[in-house]
Structures are given as structure tokens and as C-alpha cells.
Structure 1
């Protein structure tokens, strides 16, 4: 008679073996087994090495479009974890960002139908029943059962897609490709339309708009000088303002007070502690048409003139200060001076700009 002690010991599969199993389940279209197979992959991720995680990422990302709607968001989270552990971010980003777009579209459907069916507090994904939400929003005259299901799925899983998208957008090649392809513009528009109240997309929007290896032409009106610089990883205009002062005033090119080294370090790579370190404005940042870009905005707001983003520096109309640091602590930032424009070129470019319009505040 055999006993449990006589049974052969089952060796735990590796992460990649579990991925193969999930791929087989997906190929078979077996939605009932997809969740357990995905749970096995997720459970093995913590013990996997970086090489396994890197290899698993693109393979798991390829399964996202065909995955069942609810497990799909959890699969996206595993893909994001793979990217954070070395998987190719560009190879993983497309399905993740497409999934975020789908979830945002679903939430719009849900909030719209919720308002049409009496309004009131929107469902709580942590405590309410998605079936009840589906029954409320589904109506063939307004939203068929399948799209109602996707609306509920989007509302219940949006936070997972947001985190997975952050993992891929943290990488400059993804930001460049998504911006060039128009994916970022679509997502930004969906962020603007979002009216669910449960999510704040400001950080993700700033991350998506970060400019990498981007030239910046700066013209200083008081001195008539010009500078070509290059931006990397700058997520907000406060950060750019500090680094402009460091490079141009600290570098001896413009008069003024050099920023405190701690303020500069916080704008580049340092992580803030509990103290409030104050940065002080050195310029008025002005667009070539005389409008005032917001310090609270992003360097991507700076207009492109003749193929290069162009900014004019003018004396500050009033004293302004802000908390030093970076909006995106995870992203290191830098600004480098590439060349000083010859006086004739600087004068020619300045002649095509408009002085600041005095009625519009730059700091809001």
C-alpha cells in the first residue's frame, strides 16, 4: 500500500514554466483557468531572478489584448513588475497603455450612465458588488451588456492600469515612442475627461510629458544673449527654473544670485527629507509670443519655434518662491549648456519675440 510519503516530490515550476502554462491557457481560450494560471505566475514572481523577469515581461505583455477583462488588469501589474526588474519597457508598453486607454474609456461609460440612471455616489470598487453596478448601467438603448461589462471592469481596475502605466512611462524610450505615435496625446485627453473623483492623474500626466534629450533655446532679453541647452528628465517648470538659474547664473553667463546647492541637488537627483527647502525665482519665464508659461506646468508647454523649444528670460516682476524639489521624485533631471549663441544670432532670434504681457500672472 502506498502512502503520501511514497509519492514523488513535485518540484515547484519556474516563473518561465508558469508563463508557458499561462500562454497555453490563453491559446486554448480557457477563461476559467486563466485566473488560476495567472495567480501561479504572480506567486512565482518574487522568487524569480532578474533574467527570468526580463524574459517574462514581453511574453506576458503579448497576452494582454486577449486576456479576460478582469484578470487583464492584474496581468498588467505583473508586466509592470517585470519592467521594473529589467524587462524591455518598449516591448511591454504598447499593450499596457492600450489597456489604460480601455479602462479610462470604460470609466467614462460608467460615470455617464450612472448620471443618466439617477446619479448618487459612484460605486466603491473595494466594497460594492460589480454585478449590481452592471445591472444598473446596462441598457440596450444606451449601453449593451458587453460594453456595460467593460465599463464596470474599467471602473473596478483603473487603479491597476494606472500603476502598470507608471512602470512603463518611467522609461525615456517609452515616453518618446508614445509621444511620437500620438498615444500620449490620447491618454492626456482621457485624463482631462475623467470625472470619477477617485483617481488623480496629475503625476502620470507629468511623467508622460517628461522631455528626454530635448534641446531648449533660451534668450535673455536684458543682456541680449542666447543659449542652447539640453533637457533630460524634467517633469515640471519649477524644476527647469531652478536649473536654468544654476546653469546660466551659476555658470557665470548671466548676472544674479546662484541657487543654493541643496536646491539644485533636489531639482536633479536628491530625495527630500522632512525639511521644507525653499527655491527662489530668478527670472520671468516668457514664451516667444509674450505669454507666461506656468511654473506649475511642464517644459512641454514651451512652444516650438523653428524646430526647437524657445524660452525668453525677463526680469521677475515680483518675488516668488516655492518648495524645492521635483514633482517626479523617481525621475532624475538635468539641464546642460551646449553652446552660447553668437551675438548676431541671439539678437536676430530675440527680434522675433514679443516682450512679456504684463497682465498675465506667471505663478498661479
Structure 2
């Protein structure tokens, strides 16, 4: 049950938005944040629960409400009340934002678009409705649609920031439908040229969870079954694979130099920043089961499936690759669980499926 203090602060926030007073709104946001934090996990979750149903109808400066909901999650509240709302609302914001340049071009004949921080929604709507055909067909619904599009030019980053905050949570990610994740990736790609946060949205939407992988060491004719979750980049995967697989040949592991412990910490729960003076290095080159090189700059979703399973093939390092960062998303907890060494007959079946050129690495 929501505490009376959180309930009162939420009501104040709603009233401040209805009044249209920016100072009152900012004060109400601050008040709710302080009240929720003071009440701990229960108060933070209560605030998220109360804010979630408000989000679909909000835009412009009121999109900061989503940022507050994300902050409550970061402080310890549950993200789950946002699952059915925040991803789709963020996808919508990116879609509307993507429409602005073309509409602006048609309305102004090519004048430079205002920076999101330098103009108001009202000014942008006024410019977009200057064209005669807009004036001839103007009605309240059309004006409302244009206003929502214009607001997205200014508020998209707020929606994305909130979503990125909650998408690092495993339970949240697995609850988001796959079709919504695909839509997020598609929408983010369109606006990625003007938003680094959108690039991160696409990466988080592509994160694999509870994903089985098979790793083949063709030189040693050995194979391994693992499962992974929450790994944000292939560079991070490189480090974790080396940590899980390299060991004593007598125990069926891969013979190689093990990764430095500081690299493993950076890839899991320690400080992710290694710096240029002490970067992590790849222990092997990785190919997928079709023989394509898996770049450390990519994401695990890039690993192609072979007979429905993502397969990685270990090859000797042909060109050293260094990484200054152990993991892309500091608050996302990765797992790479070693399941078992494959039986020899299983390994040979996988090797037989590999392209001839990669089955005999030297």
C-alpha cells in the first residue's frame, strides 16, 4: 500500500502539472524524490507504481516525470511497474523525434533546426504550422498531433534516459516483449546520429538473457556449453570467456594465458574503466559458426546461429585488440555460466558443421 506521504507528494505533482507552473512542477518533483528516498525501497517502489500510469500522456518538460521514475529505480525501487509503459512510450518519442526534420524542412524551406535546448515547443509548433496546407486543414486533433511531435524534439532524451536506467535490470529486460525490443532497436537506429543514448537503447534492447552458447576449440577438438545474460558488448564477452574457459588442459580447459583479474573485475562488478595505460587484451579471435569474425566492438546478438544455436569458434589471435573499458553498462550485472565440457562425440558433430577453413586453425 502506498504511504500517505508518497500519495500526498504524487498528488502535488499531478496538481502542479495541471496548473502548468514550471516552478511548482520542479518543486513537486524534488519533494516526491526526497519523500520516496526517505521511505526506502517501499517508498521508491510506491512512487514508481504511482508515476507509471501518468507517463503515456506526458510530454515536453513533464517528461522529467519519467526521469524521476527511473531515478527511483536506480535508488532501489522496483522497475516492474514500468514494463508495459516506458519502453513503448520511449519508442514513440523516438519515432516522433525522427519525423521533425522532414516536417521542419517542408515548413521552413531548409532553415536550420533549433537545438533541443534553444527553443520552446510552442515556437516549434508555430513554425511547423506556418505552411498554408496546415492552416487550411487545421483542427484541434491535428494541432495536438503536431504538438506531440514537436515535444519529442525536446523531450526524447528524457524518455531514453529513463529507459536506459531500467533496462539494465534483468527482470525488467526479460519481461519486455521481443516485438517491443525490436521496435526499440529500429526506432533508435533512426535517431542514433543525434543521440548517443539512443545507441545505448539499441544495445540494451539487443542484450541476450538466459542464452545458451556453444564454444568450440577446433585445435584441441574440445567444446563447451555455457549460458549468458546481461553482457553488453563482445569485448566484455571476450574477457568473461577467457576467465571461464582458460585453465588446465587435463581438466578439459583451453590452454592460454588467463586474463588479468583486474580485467575480469572490470567486466563484472568492479570499476569498468581500465584506461589506456592498462587495457584488457583479447585472448583469442572469435568466429561464429558460419566463419564470420565476431568483432569485440559488436554485441553478442551479432553472433549468428548455427542449427538454432549461437556458436563461437576459438581461433588464435592474429591481431591484438585492446579494450579500455571492461563493460559498457556499469549497473548491468553480467553472467556467463560454465555448464559443462561437451562429450567428444558432440564436439565432433559441431566441428563437422563448421566451414572447412576454420576447423583447422593454426
Q: Deviations over 1:296-353 (max 9, x none)?
A: 1111211233443221112233333332511222223232211000011110012112
> Aligned residue pairs: how many?
339
Q: Which residue of 1 aligns with 2:100?
A: 110
Contact 1:225 1:341 in 2 (8 A): yes
Rounded Cα–Cα distance in structure 1 between residues aligned with 2:56 and 2:325: 42
Q: Secondary structure at the match of 2:50?
A: helix
Q: Secondary structure at the match of 1:113?
A: helix
Q: Which residue of 1 aligns with 2:73?
A: 83
Gaps of 5+ in 2: none
Contact 1:235 1:327 in 2 (8 A): yes
Rounded Cα–Cα distance in structure 1 between residues aligned with 2:348 and 2:159: 49
Q: Which residue of 2 aligns with 1:237?
A: 234
Q: Which residue of 2 aligns with 1:7?
A: none
Shift in Å, 1:286 = 0.8
Shift in Å, 1:199 = 4.4
Q: Secondary structure at the match of 1:238?
A: helix
Q: CA RMSD in A?
A: 2.7
Task: Evaluate the alpha carbon distance shift between residue 356 and residue 238 of structure 1 in structure 2; reply closer, same or farther with a 3 A threshold.
Answer: farther
Gaps of 5+ in 1: 1-12, 358-364
Q: Which residue of 1 aligns with 2:53?
A: 62
Q: Which residue of 1 aligns with 2:189?
A: 192
Q: Deviations over 1:138-179 (max 9, x none)?
A: 35747942222111100111111111111221211221222x
Rounded Cα–Cα distance in structure 1 between residues aligned with 2:198 and 2:357: 31
Rounded Cα–Cα distance in structure 2 between residues aligned with 1:63 and 1:182: 23
Rounded Cα–Cα distance in structure 2 between residues aligned with 1:342 and 1:108: 51
Q: Secondary structure at the match of 1:201?
A: helix
Q: Spell out the pairing of 1:188-337 with structure 2 (5 A cutoff).
A: 188-194=185-191, 197-250=194-247, 252=249, 253-271=253-271, 272=273, 276-337=277-338
Shift in Å, 1:61 = 0.1
Shift in Å, 1:183 = 0.9
Q: Secondary structure at the match of 1:339?
A: strand
Q: Which residue of 2 aligns with 1:353?
A: 354
Higher helix share: 2
User: Which moves more between the two structures, 343-352 or 73-82?
Assistant: 73-82
Rounded Cα–Cα distance in structure 1 between residues aligned with 2:218 and 2:184: 37
Rounded Cα–Cα distance in structure 2 between residues aligned with 1:356 and 1:292: 13
Return the TM-score normalized by structure 2.
0.84
Residue of 78, 81, 95 corresponding to 2:85: 95
